[in-house]
Amino acid sequence: MAEFLSRAEEYVDMAEVSTENWNYCMPSTYIPWASNREFVREIKQSGKVKFPLYLVGSIVSPEMAEEIIASGDADGISFSRALIADPAMPNKAKAGRIDEITPCLRCMRCTDGDNKTRFFRCSVNPTTGHETRVGFMEDIPEAKIKKNVLVIGGGPGGVEAAVTAARRGHTVTLLEKNEELGGTIRYAKNDALKPDLKRYLQYIQKLPSLYPNITVKLGTEATPELVGSYKADHIIVATGGEPIPPTFLEGWEKAKDILDAYFHADSVGEEVVIIGGGLSGVEAAAHLGALGKKVTVLEKYTCLADVGTSYGWGVKLAVKQYGVKLVEQADVLEITDEGVRYAMGGKEILKKADSVFYAIGMKSNNQLFYEVADKAPYVDIIGDAAQTARIGEAVVSGFYAAMDIGTF
Ligand SMILES: Cc1cc2nc3c(=O)[nH]c(=O)nc-3n(C[C@H](O)[C@H](O)[C@H](O)COP(=O)(O)O)c2cc1C
Ligand code: SF4
pLDDT digits (tens, 9 = 90+) for 305-359: 999 988 999 999 999 999 999 999 999 999 999 999 999 999 999 999 999 999 9
Please tell me the residue having the least CA distance from ligand 2 atom 5: 81
159: nearest Cα among 224, 88, 100, 242: 100
Beta carbon of 194 within 6 Å of any ligand 2 atom: no
C-alpha 276/C-alpha 303 separation (Å) is 8
Count other C-beta atoms under 10 Å from residue 223's C-beta: 12
Question: Residue 12 has what pLDDT?
Answer: 84
pTM more than 0.85: yes
Please determine, for residue 60, whether its predicted confidence score (pLDDT) is greater than 70.
Answer: yes
Please tell me the residue having the least CA distance from ligand 2 atom 8: 104
Q: Tell me, in angstroms, the distance from the centre of ligand 2 to residue 86's CA.
A: 10
Q: By the 8 A CB rule, do 380 and 401 touch?
A: yes
* Strand 148-152 relative to strand 76-78, pairing: unpaired
CA atoms within 13 A on the CB side of 12: 15
Tell me the average pLDDT across 145-170: 98
Q: Which ligand is nearest to the CA of 59?
A: 1
347-352 β-sheet, strand order: 331-335, 339-344, 347-352
Tell me the average pLDDT across 38-48: 95
C-alpha 92/C-alpha 344 separation (Å) is 55
Q: Which ligand is nearest to the CA of 108?
A: 2
Average pLDDT, the chain: 95
- Residues touching ligand 1 (Cβ under 6 Å) are 18, 25-26, 56-59, 79-82, 110-111, 114
Question: Residue 9 has what pLDDT?
Answer: 75
List the domains of the chain with CATH numbers.
2-114 (no CATH), 140-241+363-403 (3.40.50.720), 252-360 (3.50.50.60)
As a residue count, the chain comes to 408
C-alpha 61/C-alpha 98 separation (Å) is 9
Which one-letter amino acid corresponds to residue 120? F
> Which of 27-36, 114-123, 277-286, 364-373 is least confident?
114-123
Q: Which residues contact 354 (CB under 8 A, 6 or more apart)?
A: 268, 269, 270, 271, 272
Helix or strand or coil: residue 218? coil
Question: Does residue 174 come out as left (phi exceeding 0), alpha (psi in the -120 to 50 range) or beta?
Answer: beta
